[in-house]
Amino acid sequence: MGTLSVSPAARRGFLALGLATTVATLAGCYVLPIDPRTGQPVAPAGAPVVVAPAPVLPLTFPARLYPANPQASGYGVINATVTNDLQGRGSFNANINGESFVGEATRKAGSSREGLASGAGNRGSYLSCQYTMNSATLGTGTCRLNNGAVFTMHVGN
């Protein structure tokens, strides 16, 4: 087997070719420093900073329906769950006398506080509510079952 002899000029040429290949490969790369506190890249000075909005997560909180007339007194206090999507709509769930009610709530047109809610029970009953929110998570209202039972509603903790 013979040995390959390379002149010093050819050796420098190969080294230059290897260096040029490495530089060309990395030419499109840009290294950003990492902020050790957040683990996120730090933008270079003068670069526009783009901040993505945090997703709006719905709020879920309790609601209680207190009997307000003789027809409702047999049901006692009803515990419900309200979910506010923070976009003017929401949903609620309640169980009244073993019947599961699922419904939707919306704000009245032109009002940021007043709303209506309707729910259907899995046995054919329905529940209608009117409410006023004092804050995003606190409010009061009145609910009426289709059999005439009336409840005073308190929303929030």
Does some domain include residue 87? Answer: yes
Does some domain include residue 26? Answer: no
- pLDDT tens digits for range 92-135: 899 999 999 999 988 888 888 898 999 999 999 999 999 998 98
Looking at residue 132, what is its pLDDT?
Answer: 93
Sign of CA dihedral 101, 103, 145, 78: positive
Does some domain include residue 18? Answer: no
Total structural domains in the chain? 1
- 3-state secondary structure (DSSP) of residue 91: strand
Does some domain include residue 150? Answer: yes
Q: What is the CATH number of the domain that holds 86?
A: 2.40.128.120
Type of residue numbered 132: T
Interior angle at CA 104, CA 102 and CA 138, nearest 5: 105
Q: Which of 140, 119, 145 is nearest to 130 (CA)?
A: 140
Residues 6+ apart with CB under 8 A from 99: 121, 122, 123, 125
pTM (global) more than 0.85: no
Enclosing domain of residue 131: 59-155
Does some domain include residue 24? Answer: no
Band (42; pLDDT cuts 50, 70, 90): confident
Does some domain include residue 5? Answer: no
Does some domain include residue 51? Answer: no
